[in-house]
Amino acid sequence: MKALVLAAAKSKKLSPFSDTRPKSMITISGRPILETILNQIGDSGIKEVWLVVNHQKDIIQDYFKYGKSLGIKIDYIYQEEEKGIGHAVSLCEDVIGDDSHFMLIYGDALMSGNPFSHLLSRFSRSSSNSLATISHPLSDGFYGNIYLSHDMKISKLVERPESKRLSNYIFGGSFILEQGCFEFLKSNNHDMVAFYHHLIDQKSMDACLWEDSWIDISRPWHILAANQMMMNPWNTSIIPETVIIDQNVNIKGVVHFGENVHVSSGTTIVGPCYIGNNVYIGNNALIRKNSSIGPNCKIGYGTEIKNAVLFGNSNVGRLSFIGDSVLGENVQLGSNTVTVNYNTLGEAIFYNPLDGKAIDTKLEKLGAFIGDNSIVGTGHRIAPGTPLPPGTTIPDWVSISHSTLSKAEIVQKPGKLYTHQ
C-alpha cells in the first residue's frame, strides 16, 4: 500500500512560524512534525510515500530528499494552487495506479504511538475504507463530529458543528480509502467531504478508534501542547558520550540529549525535556520540564526555560526567563529578557495575532511567540500572548545612554552621582 501525505497548506493561523516554513516543518520535541509522521508510516510497514507540497516546498524536499535516511521512498507532487483537500488527492491518481486502496494522511496532525499500524490492522480485518477516529482530542478547535453504529461503521458526519462537541468522536486526519475515490472526485468538483458522505451512505466506512493522544496543530500555542504530548511517553534518558556535564549539575526525570551538549556547573534540568546537538547551557541555569531546546542554542548564566520550545540556532542572554513560549530559528534575546506568562488578575490570556482579533486561549499561562531571525535587546518584558513577526528587531532597553548624558549636567560628590537636566 502507498501513503499520500498532504503537506501543501501554509496556515496563516500558525503565523509567525508558518510565515517562514511549511506548517508540517514546525519542530516538536526536536523533530519536524512531518518527520515524526514519516517515521510512523515507515514503522507501520508502508515504504512508498508521496508528499503533496506547495508552500515553501524546497524546505521539505531539501530536508527529506528521497527518504533514504528514513528507510522509505519519498516522491513529491506539486499542487500549484491551494484548491482544497479533494483537489490535492485527485493529483495523486496516477501514482496510486492499480492499487485497490491507499492511505491518506493530513500532514499537520500528530498522534503519539503509531496510529498507522493500528489503521492497517483494522483494514486487514475488513478490507473496507477506514478512518482514524479520535475520542479525546487535545486541541480546542471545531472538528468534524462522527457518529458510530453498533458494528463500528461511521453512520453520520457533521462537518461544521455548531459547538465543539456534539458526539464523542471526531475526524482524526488519517484514512484508508478505495481507488474509486478518484473517479468520484472527478464527477463531484473535487469535493472530499462529499466523498466521505458517499461512503457513509453506502455503509462502507469503518471507524478505527484511536484512544491515545492526538492534536491538530492549528494555533501557535498548540506547539507547546504537542511538545508535551510527544514527551509524555518517554521513559528512558538518552545522553550520548559526547555530552559534557560539569560538576554540581542536577538532572531529574527523563532527558533526551543530542551530541556535543555542554551543561555548565550549577544547572538544574527537570525532565522530560529535549536538548539538541551542540547546545551550550551556562552556569546556574534552570531548564524545567516539557522544554525543547533545538540545536546550536546558547542559554546564558542564571536563565530559566520553562515549558518552552526553541527551534534552534538561538541565544538567550543571562538572567532571562522564557516561559510557555515558542522561539523560531536564529532568535537572539538579550540579557534579562522576560516573557511574562501570566495575568496577575488570574484571568485567561488572550493571544493577539498581528492581523486579526484577539483570541481567548482559555490558558492561564502563556508567553510569547517570536518569529525567525528576530532580535530582542537587553532588558525587555514581553507581554503574555504576544507574537513577534519574523525579522523583528527591538533595541536594548536603556535608561542611560550617551545622548541622555550629553544633555545632562553631571555633579560628582563623594560616594554619590547626581544629574540635572
* DSSP 8-state symbol, 122: H
pLDDT score at 168: 67
Class of domain 3-231: alpha beta
Give the separation between CA 173 and CA 407, rounded to whole angstroms. Answer: 64
Q: Specify the amino acid at residue 259.
A: E
pLDDT score at 413: 58
Q: Which residue has the cell 541555569?
A: 285
CA dihedral 70, 74, 79, 80 (to 10 degrees): 90
Which residues of the chain fall below pLDDT 70? 127-128, 130-144, 160-168, 405-421
Pairing relationship of beta strands 205-210 and 129-134 according to DSSP bridges? parallel
Residues of the chain with CATH 3.90.550.10: 3-231
Residues of the chain with CATH 2.160.10.10: 244-394
* CA dihedral sign, ordered 183, 186, 190, 193: negative
Q: Which residue has the cell 546550536?
A: 296
Preceding amide of 272 cis, omega within 30: yes
Give the separation between CA 335 and CA 345, rounded to whole angstroms. Answer: 27
- Chain segment 353-374, per-residue pLDDT in tens: 877 789 999 999 999 999 999 9
pLDDT score at 416: 55
pLDDT score at 252: 97
Q: Specify the amino acid at residue 241.
A: E
pLDDT score at 417: 47
How many CA atoms lie less than 13 Å away from 325 in the CB half-sphere? 32
Distant-in-sequence contacts of 11-15, Cβ < 8 A, 24+ apart: 11/108, 11/218, 12/355, 13/218, 13/219, 13/353, 14/217, 14/218, 14/219, 14/220, 15/220, 15/353, 15/354, 15/355, 15/371, 15/387, 15/389
Cell digits for 73? 521512498
pLDDT score at 414: 60
How is domain 244-394 classified at the CATH fold level?
A: UDP N-Acetylglucosamine Acyltransferase; domain 1 (2.160.10)
